[in-house]
Each structure stands twice: as structure tokens, then as C-alpha cells.
Amino acid sequence: MTDAQHIAQDDLALYALQTLSRDESAAMREHLSECAVCRAELARLRGDLAMVALSVDQHPLPSGARERFAQRIGLSPRATKLAEPVPIYRESRFGRVAGWVGWVAAAACLIVAAGLGFEVRSLRARLLDKNSRIASLEASESRAKQVDELLTAPTAQRVFLTAPKTPPTPSGRVVYLAPRGALMLQANNLAPAPAGKAYELWVIPADGSAPIPAGLFRPDAEGNGSLVLPPIPPGIKAKAFGVTLEDSAGSKTPTAPILMAGSVPQNGG
């Protein structure tokens, strides 16, 4: 071999892939020890192979792979001879590119596979989102249907709710016959009278004179009390009646506040 003759790139690739026989590899190493150009080309090929190896998963070499590989590229493992050294310039740029088309195709396949994987994940996420929306719409539709059935069911019970009633207020009713001085009072919802106290009824004269005491009474446990025909002078025309809380012995004048009061109707006697 001379400096003008170099190892063909295909042989360098086979050497880099360690697919040559022991004798072929020995002859290759001998030439590489003397040729800087081939050593540089080998280094470049090894760098390319390393980049490809890093981009794919690594697996152990199957049994017989070397022989099958050699057969595919038209080399016989038993009768393969090292190609005659040829000028390196005989390999065109197209030939170099064509030699690595397989690796480029493999890389392209990996890129396409990665893109497809991303697209599948994206489609799956959109499908899950649509399924979630469909489930939400179905739940809303079911709830609306139940509300409609509740409102239109003829056997549904309808109850009107209000706030609890406040404690009933005290009230009373007086029947008075002025010419005879006859009077009757019926009072309800009164609070119990404190010890030493009693309720007292007052007649308010129509002529503007001072109120006249008409009698004392104490309500029972249910808040009901009454006066029946207390001693009242006859002939007193009443303008109104009132009830106050006084000492149990009674009072000559009403003590504020007036707990209950009522005016006599204008047509009353």
C-alpha cells in the first residue's frame, strides 16, 4: 500500500463494526498504523456509530448475527478477502450519503414514533376531558329530570313553613252596663303576677274625671283571669278601660305602665 491508496469506506465501516475476520482485522490495523488519512476516516466513522448507538436501545448481539450481516452485504465469512486498496477519492458524495441512508431512516423512524406517541397521549387527554364533560352533562340532566318529577308528582306533599309564633300577647274583653254599674272582664295570656302584686281594672269616665278602680284579680296557671260584677257605682259613663299591675291591696290611682287598654265604641252605652 502507498500513501495514494486508502481503504474503502465500506471496509472501514465493517472494521469499525468489528465484523471482519481476525486476518482481515490484522491487515486493516497494519494499514491504519501507516496511513493517517484512513485513521482519520475511521475515527469519523466511529464517532458517527457512537452517536447512532446512543440514540437507540442497546441489546446483546444475537448468535450468528455477524454471519448474517456479512451475507446481507455480499461478503462470505469464509472466503471474504480484504478489498484492494483504492483511492479514497473514488467514493462520491452520493455514495457516502447512500451508505448511511439506513441509519438516517432509523433515526427518522424514532422521531416519527416519538411524535406519534405524543399525539396519542394528547388524544387520550382530550378524550378523557370529553368523557368528563359528558358525565357532567348527564348528571345535570338526571338532576333536572328528578326536580321536574318532584314538582309535578300529584302525590307530593306541599307544606308552607313560617317562623314560630311569638308568645301570645295579653288580651281582655269587658262587658259593661253603665246604668246598673254591672261589669264583667275576661282576660287571657297574662303573665303570672309577682308575689304581693295583682292586676287591677280601671274605668276611665267619659267626663274626664279620675279613673275609678273596678276590682283586683290574679290569673291562673294558664294566664287567664276574670272579674264578675265588681262593686261599681251605677250611672258612670265610661270612655275606656285599662289594666295595671298594682299591690295586692289595690291602689287609688293607676300605676304606669298600663298593660292593657281599650276604648268604648262611640255607640256604646
What is the per-residue pLDDT across 222-264, written as a single tens digit (0 to 9) for each? 999 999 999 999 999 999 999 999 999 999 999 999 999 999 9
143: enclosing H helix or E strand:
helix 101-152
C-alpha–C-alpha distance, residues 137 and 153, integer Å: 24
pTM above 0.75, yes or no: no
Contact yes or no for 7/38 (Cβ under 8 A): yes
C-alpha–C-alpha distance, residues 44 and 219, integer Å: 119
Q: What pLDDT was estimated at residue 17?
A: 77
Q: What is the CA radius of gyration of the chain?
A: 60
- Smallest Cα–Cα separation from 100: which of 18, 11, 13? 13
Residue 200's CB: how many other CB atoms inside 10 A? 23
**Which residues in 22-53 are b (16+ Cβ under 10 Å) and which e?**
eebeebbeebbeebeebeebbeebeeeeeeee
Q: Which residues pair with 188 in a beta bridge?
A: 171
Q: What pLDDT was estimated at residue 77?
A: 46
**Sequential pLDDT tens for the chain (269 residues):** 334 478 887 788 888 877 788 888 888 899 999 999 889 888 887 877 766 655 555 555 566 666 665 665 555 444 444 444 444 434 444 344 444 545 555 555 555 566 676 678 888 888 888 888 898 888 888 889 888 888 888 888 777 787 777 788 999 999 999 999 999 999 999 999 999 999 999 999 999 999 999 999 999 999 999 999 999 999 999 999 999 999 999 999 999 999 999 999 876 55
Contact yes or no for 44/37 (Cβ under 8 A): no
Condensed to tens digits (0 to 9), the pLDDT of residues 108-117 reads 555 556 667 6
| Residue 66 neighbours by CB under 8 Å, 6+ apart | 19, 77
Number of residues that this document lists for the chain: 269
Q: What pLDDT was estimated at residue 246?
A: 97
Residue 227's CB: how many other CB atoms inside 10 A? 20
**Which residues in 68-93 are b (16+ Cβ under 10 Å) and which e?**
eebeeeebeeeebebeebeebeeeee
SS3 state of residue 59:
coil
Q: What pLDDT was estimated at residue 167?
A: 81
CA 68 to the chain's CA centroid: 62
Burial label, 131 (beta-carbon count in 10 A; 0-12, 13-18, 19+) = exposed
Grid coordinates belonging to 169:
300577647
